[in-house]
Amino acid sequence: MLGRTSFAFVGCHFEAHQSQQALTRRNANFHKVNSELQLVAPSDEHRKGPIASTFDRVFWSGDLNYRIDGTRKMIDDLLARNFHDVTSLHVLVVNDQLRKEMAAGRVFQAAIALLAYESHMDVKTSDHRPVTAIFDVEFVCDVNGLDKATHADQTKSEVCAVQ
């Protein structure tokens, strides 16, 4: 909780491959995780439900495997332009499966504003590389409910690993 706003962080690995059936299964993967992870709402211990309706802000991460619709050659040609061509970038964005599925209302309904996103290709631990992101998130601040600790030596320290 931050103020009166609840947060959930979910890491997933969805169906891979480039086909309509795989896209349908990715959407089904989302709905399965969203509905079957029955977590208790931080603001109401008696309420359980799908993550997206139980928490105020939900961050989905991981290998979601949504693709860009198009042939491999077409996509490689567009990517080779290094986004110097606005038209190329536009073609990639409008063919992004995740954006299309979100716009159609099939997955990930409430978007959180992304300010920065970076992949760290120099950090190699597997075939995947770490990414970092900065978000702009609105939250409700409850000034009356804040702890009175104001100095570093009066606060508790906790560590959280998000994968």
Other Cβ atoms within 10 Å of 150 Cβ, number: 8
User: What's the structural domain count of the chain?
Assistant: 1
Is there a domain that residue 78 lies in?
A: yes
Global pTM? 0.77
- Residues recorded for the chain: 163
Is there a domain that residue 98 lies in?
A: yes
Is there a domain that residue 118 lies in?
A: no
Is there a domain that residue 79 lies in?
A: yes
- What is the domain range of residue 77? 70-110
Q: Is 20 helix (H, G, I), strand (E, B) or coil?
A: helix
Is there a domain that residue 76 lies in?
A: yes
Please write the tens of the pLDDT for every residue from 67-110: 999 999 999 988 888 767 788 889 999 999 999 999 999 999 87
Is there a domain that residue 6 lies in?
A: no
Is there a domain that residue 56 lies in?
A: no
Is there a domain that residue 126 lies in?
A: no
Q: Distance between CA 121 and CA 131 in Å, rounded?
A: 9
Please write the tens of the pLDDT for every residue from 2-58: 888 889 999 999 999 999 999 999 999 999 999 998 888 777 777 778 888 888 899
